[in-house]
Amino acid sequence: MVRFKNKFIKHLIFVSYLGLICLSTACSQQSNRPNIIVIYTDDQGYGDVSALNENAKFKTPNIDRLAKEGIVFTNGHSASSVCTPSRYSLLTGRYSWRTTLKNGVMQSEATCLIEDGRETLASLLKKQEYHTAMVGKWHLGMDFPGTPQNRDWSQPVKDMPLDKGFDYFYGVPASLNFGILAWFEGRFAKVPPTLFTNKKKNDRHVDYRILPPYETTSQETKEKLGKPGFEVAPDFVDNQCLTRFTEKAIDWMKTVESDAKNDKPFFLYLPYTSPHYPVAPLPEFHGKGNAGAYGEFMIETDYHIGQILNYLKESGLKDNTMVVFTSDNGPEKSWDKRIEEFNHDSRGGFKEGKRSVYEGGHRVPFLVRWPKGIKESGRTWNKPVGQVDLLATFADLLGVNLSENAGEDSQSFASVLTTTNSTYNRLPLINRGDKGRIGRYAITEGNWKLLLPSKIKSEGIELYDLDTDPSEAKNVATLFPEKVKDLKTKINTIIASGSTTKGANLNNDTGYWEDLTWMTVEEYNTIAAGN
């Protein structure tokens, strides 16, 4: 009996010991989960980071800090060359042209492009017990109460970030020229947009300003400015965006700081409104750099990013916080004037800019810093990666499997972060240009990029070897017909099958659309049917 008791006690001690080991391991794995911040600038070209452009006419020391202390993805891409589609793809891991939005961008007020139930970065991380917040520019559609002629701002805004996985939201609905401008926090604006305005002359740049005085009716704005007014709050001023977003982001992180140090991390999506028009740097940044007001605006943007990084350091959260820094598309059309006037190339030497399917439209700054998790900081990765890949990458790092109908075009590049000898190769990456609501598609696999014809007759088949011709100067389609055929087959399959990464065919939200000029309806339907 004594022997039995001794054995039982020893067994109990052993089981308890195993339990402690398992509990310790679980806690260790949990504590290794990083906080995640995605900083998303607006219309910032590859050449607008001084670490990526030795000839830049202004310095971005804080963004450069991310490059030095992390990994530079020199071949990183937004999914589109305009705003809304890139934001959809970044958050969902799915190309936006699979939705009903085939061209252009959304208005401030519209049915949200992210449908209910669609997995997002926020919803994925929230399920893993992350605190989640978005501070900045949304531009994916919101449902506002009433109509412009009959608003009831005591009612909540619906179909917005809080319905897509975010616990907290502070920001603006869309680009500043799209109206309904107010400082929204949660589902309400503390000061509702009850006045009206439109674009006003910017004395320091080629674009416009959104600033008081404002009018009481849309018609009054038309009489003063020549265009009907859109809704604006009395306290809204365009050059306050960056300051407010930075302060609110830091304030929110402070509310979850204690949890972040005790195995409940946070996710912050921080889409800034700069350097998108209006270019409106605060007066204290005037005269800085050598690229005019645009350079000043980038210097201010870098300053605010520095405030975020300083908070992480001072709070002790730096080591286990992953910071992803990238931009929604290439630089706005004033890039050519900056080359002429200041010898500053916002494109970083790539071809064209915003709205273009060429590299300048979608090859953007793409930096990742994570001191605790990245193996060997200060290195570069030169193979293609996409913003669409963040969903799968975060899931992979957390050991989470994505469902069959989530992240259809997202492929994890986690191994690039955690090892120095990764063999990672991105499946063919699709990019889309958007000129005058005419879409043009390109597929990149390794060093080869194929541009498909569009509805514009002069835009035919183009093939480039990006290793030897990153500026896309020499079309070699006639020299490599088999490569053209191969890439055309692959883009047809990726588009019509509804997925890049999944085995079974999935459905796009629509059938064939007119921008697919190189593919017939019959070809599309055959692939979509899985034949």
Report, as an integer, the average pLDDT of 363-376: 98
Report, at the CATH architecture level, how domain 33-389 is classified.
Answer: 3-Layer(aba) Sandwich (3.40)
- Range list for CATH 3.30.1120.10 in the chain: 429-528
Give me the pLDDT at residue 148, please: 87
Instruction: Give the contacts of 488 (CB within 8 A, at least 6 positions apart).
Output: 450, 452, 518
pLDDT for 210 beyond 90: yes
d(CA 65, CA 49): 11
pLDDT band at 1, cuts 50/70/90?
very low
pLDDT for 68 beyond 50: yes
Beta strand 438-445 with 429-435 is antiparallel
Rounded mean pLDDT of the chain?
94
pLDDT tens-digit readout, 434-447: 988 899 999 999 99
pLDDT band at 531, cuts 50/70/90?
low
Burial of 521 (0-12, 13-18, 19+ CB in 10 A): exposed
Report, as an integer, the average pLDDT of 269-298: 98
pLDDT tens-digit readout, 28-37: 344 579 999 9
Give me the pLDDT at residue 31, please: 54
d(CA 71, CA 184): 34
Report, at the CATH architecture level, how domain 429-528 is classified.
Answer: 2-Layer Sandwich (3.30)
pLDDT tens-digit readout, 380-391: 999 999 999 999
pLDDT band at 368, cuts 50/70/90?
very high
Give me the pLDDT at residue 424, please: 98
Instruction: Give the contacts of 446 (CB within 8 A, at least 6 positions apart).
Output: 383, 384, 425
What does pTM read for this prediction? 0.94
pLDDT tens-digit readout, 456-468: 999 999 999 999 9
pLDDT for 9 beyond 80: no
If we measure between CA atoms, which residue out of 278, 290, 324 comes closest to residue 59? 290
- Range list for CATH 3.40.720.10 in the chain: 33-389
